[in-house]
Amino acid sequence: MQSHQHGLAWLEFGRVRLWFKVARFYNPVRKPKTVRALENLGRVRLSDSFFMRDFLYSEISQIEGIPNIPDFPDRAVEVGRSLCGEVLEPLQAALGRISIRSGYRAPAVNAKGAENNNQYNCSSNESNYAQHIWDYDKPDGTRGATACVVVNSFVPYYDHTGDWKALAWWIHDHIPNYDSMCFFPKLSAFNISWSTSPERRIDSYVSPKGCLTKVGYENHAGSHESNYRQFLETIG
């Protein structure tokens, strides 16, 4: 058998030559182990507005000295592009600039955050697979990615009213490919996820705490425009 530079090969039987394509085997991107390799990963563009580097900063990583680097960069990039392209970009296009509070977490970083009874407000690694730990799937094969973000234009409205639900319902009505959201008290920051198996569920640690909606709730379908009309008026 002879090979060819364009992915072709042939077998010869006397004067007969049979050509066929050679399968190109998947070669996973290795975990960066040099500054240059990590810089190159950070330059990977996930969408028009976001690069991989935007999601790699971690206070836990900085203080605890644990590198926040994906074990499987290609997997992280793939789901990160879905999160950015299908969720974050349309959100930013409609409501203005969003700030990234937290994005990707390496398993060791997340595990440190979950130590000592959730010392840094991180759930277990098992709970964060296909969430903040982008490059590991859930046991059932579900893939996904999560980022904690702030919608800058919403902060004044939230500071004045305390009504986080206005933003939650706007996203629910206008960003069809989100998987889940969970809101926090400071700045009305919230986790928002993309997943191959979206649940379209909203939870909150801000009063009223708990689950705002999920599939099966009477309030899940239909328009919720009355809940965010006042917010939209404040941003023109």
Q: What is the pLDDT of residues 224-236, one digit of tens each?
A: 999 999 999 999 8
Residue 18 lies in a domain: no
* Residue 235 burial (CB count, 10 A): 12
Lowest mean pLDDT among 18-22, 160-164, 179-183: 18-22
Residue 13 lies in a domain: no
Residue 194 lies in a domain: yes
Domain range for 189 is 28-234
Residue 3 lies in a domain: no
What's the pLDDT band for 118 if we cut at 50, 70, 90? confident
Residue 126 lies in a domain: yes
Report, as an integer, the average pLDDT of 39-43: 96
- Number of domains composing the chain: 1
DSSP calls for 46-107:
-SSS-BGGGGT--HHHHHHT-----SSHHHHHHHHHHHIIIIIHHHHHHH--EEEEE----H
pLDDT at 24 over 70: no
Report the C-alpha gap between 205 and 203 in whole angstroms: 7
Residue 202 lies in a domain: yes
* Residue 173 burial (CB count, 10 A): 14
201: left (phi over 0), alpha (psi -120 to 50) or beta: beta
What's the pLDDT band for 13 if we cut at 50, 70, 90? low
The pLDDT value given to residue 65: 97
Q: Which of 227, 154, 161, 220 is nearest to 190 (CA)?
A: 154
Residue 85 lies in a domain: yes
Report, as an integer, the average pLDDT of 3-15: 50
Residue 20 lies in a domain: no
Mean model confidence pLDDT for the chain: 91
Give the neighbor-by-neighbor strand order of the sheet with 210-213: 98-102, 144-151, 190-195, 180-183, 201-204, 210-213
pLDDT at 21 over 90: no
Report the C-alpha gap between 207 and 212 in whole angstroms: 10
Q: Which of 57, 58, 54 is nearest to 44 (CA)?
A: 54
